[in-house]
Chains A and B, each alone.
Chain A
Amino acid sequence: MSNVLVLVDHTDNPGGTVRKTTAELLTIARRLGEPVAVFIGSDVQAALPALGQYGATKVIALSNPELSQYLVAPKAEALQQVAAKVEPSAILISSNAEGKEIAARLAVKLDSGLITDAVDVQAGDGGPVTTQSVFAGNFTVQAKVTHGTPIITVKPNAATPEVAETSPEVEEFDVTISDAAKTARITDSKPREATGRPELTEAAIIVSGGRGTGGDFGPVEAFADSLGAAVGASRAAVDSGWYPHAYQVGQTGKTVSPQLYVAAGISGAIQHRAGMQTSKTIVAINKDPEAPIFELVDFGVVGDLHKVLPTATEEVTKRKS
């Protein structure tokens, strides 16, 4: 069977917790061939159990400290060198900002086609066939790479992780990083404060607040916590300085596709809809019955979120206890 490279997406904390997206990538990789995980970081041992649980047949470990100091160019160089050795039939990378940038550079280096933001990947006769959702979710596109090694970035929740225990061997891999790849560097990095809530792009439930919050995200956060949900924000709320940009849902923020999306005080501008329209179930609470968001909803409440959410939070908490 051919090798399929999976770039491991993990946190930077000591131990490097493997993200759920990696389990999804490994699950997809098994449909296409033998998953070979590439771990860039200092503590591959901590990641091994998670990688073995989802079927990595081999783990290639790259621990060169320069790989994390200089943004993505060195990581793309490293992957190019790994690909030259492994000769994979496809390369899967998480569809986040860094992942897409690595994939972009790799596509040029390997003279290969690139597909980003796949929401599904299946094996086809001539290689992997991807599914993407485009134009604000109004179209579904199936595509394939026709030249070189297919490089595919995959969105969170594109597959349900399937356990397939393996005991992967670890192979340390030495990379050579060119000076040219070290020309942009991180001079300062402040980790984002932990909220204790699920990550926005991975969460099964998201509660987002918009202009209608009037700047008070308290009711949105409380309702999210009662549901074990992540909190998101519309661009209007972010531009008003009410919530950090990292939580913005929409075309220019994060695109999300949870099981349940609750839009509170969000009118539903096209840019916001582009970021959440593929959510399985959509609920909205808005004072304005004409708000375009109501065109999308499975359930809508025309009302003031400041009244509806606190009561709903109380009720959910009561039912859960």
Chain B
Amino acid sequence: MKIVVCAKFVPDATADRRFRSEDNTVDRAGVDGLLSELDEYAVETALTVKEAGDAEVTVLTVGPEQAADAVKKGLQMGADAGVHVLDDAIHGSDAVATSLILAKALAKLEADLVVFGMGSTDGGMGVVPAMVSERLGLPAVTLGSEVTVDGQTVRIRRDGDTASETIEGTLPLVLSVSDQANEPRYPSFKGIMAAKKKPVETWSLADLELTPDEVGGSSAWTEVVEVTARPPRSAGTIVTDEDGSGAAELVGFLSTNKFL
């Protein structure tokens, strides 16, 4: 079985994230990036499935030069191979265009099982798995908090807003997992050394039979008109509950602000 994990390289959430003033896209220069934390759960899921049977795990990423680090992290965790779709024309692609690039790459890789995290930690839309499934005409089981692969059947459990559901689909299939799915492993020293020898291919848009005008900022179907930084919060009142007066002060604050 061929498992492909779609992994995104994102700016570190604890760093000072900002936008480029010229085109309102995320400023990736000078901000440390890493494999989106939520995609680590996807890598772990793929590795667990591989260890239970016979499978090969490829980590696929779309992004600038530094995005190779996302692939590297996946390989260090234990994936077998990596693919990096790298092309200047990709800059500025929105979710719809990104899903097109991923779908083309996944078709070329002939993936049986495509694994996503529940969303990226930067854009945070969480829509790409469904878009890719739609483009490939494959079933999607999404936001799994428990995943079992039994022959050709993939079964997940998930906690929805109103119910806890079991959902089933047959391979080939698109899967997304939540941060409840597992505990991602840390790369071992052996894993880090082994990753250096694993094959990583770099594909351009031409390799995917896509043209620059099908992706990137010029063909994004959404446009950011304006970006405003939030004004800093003014410092609030902080009291210390030394003599048991904290509760009264809290209730006083709630009352003054008409929450009672």
Contact = CB atoms under 8 A, between A and B. Distances in A.
A103 B127 contact: yes
The range of chain A's interface size is 35 or more
A184 interface: yes
Interface string A132-145: 00111111111111
A186 B160 CA distance: 12
Nearest to A72: B130
A189 B165 contact: yes
Contacts of B145: 245
A307 B162 contact: no
Interface string B37-52: 0100000000000000
B165 A186 contact: yes
Contacts of A140: 227-228, 230
B166 A189 contact: yes
Contact of B247 (A98, A183, A184, A308): A308
A274 B13 contact: yes
Interface string B221-256: 111111111100100111111001011111101110
Given A183-B139, A307-B244, A145 B221 contact: yes
A245 B159 contact: yes
Given A104-B127, A146-B223, A97 B143 contact: yes
14 contacts: A101-B127, A107-B221, A108-B134, A113-B94, A116-B125, A143-B222, A144-B222, A146-B222, A147-B221, A189-B165, A246-B160, A251-B124, A304-B241, A308-B247
B69 interface: no
B221 to A, nearest CB: 3
B21 interface: no
A73 B140 contact: yes
Interface string B133-147: 111011111110100
A252 B118 contact: yes
B240 A114 contact: no
A304 B126 CA distance: 37
Interface in A166-186: 180, 183-186
B29 interface: no
A245 B180 contact: yes
Given A138-B230, A298-B253, A311-B248, 13 more contacts: A96-B161, A98-B160, A107-B96, A108-B99, A139-B19, A141-B226, A146-B222, A184-B168, A186-B165, A246-B161, A308-B246, A309-B247, A311-B247
Interface in A125-157: 129, 134-148
Given A184-B173, A188-B166, A139 B230 contact: yes
Nearest to A146: B223
Contact of B139 (A104, A115, A184, A191): A184
B13 A307 contact: no
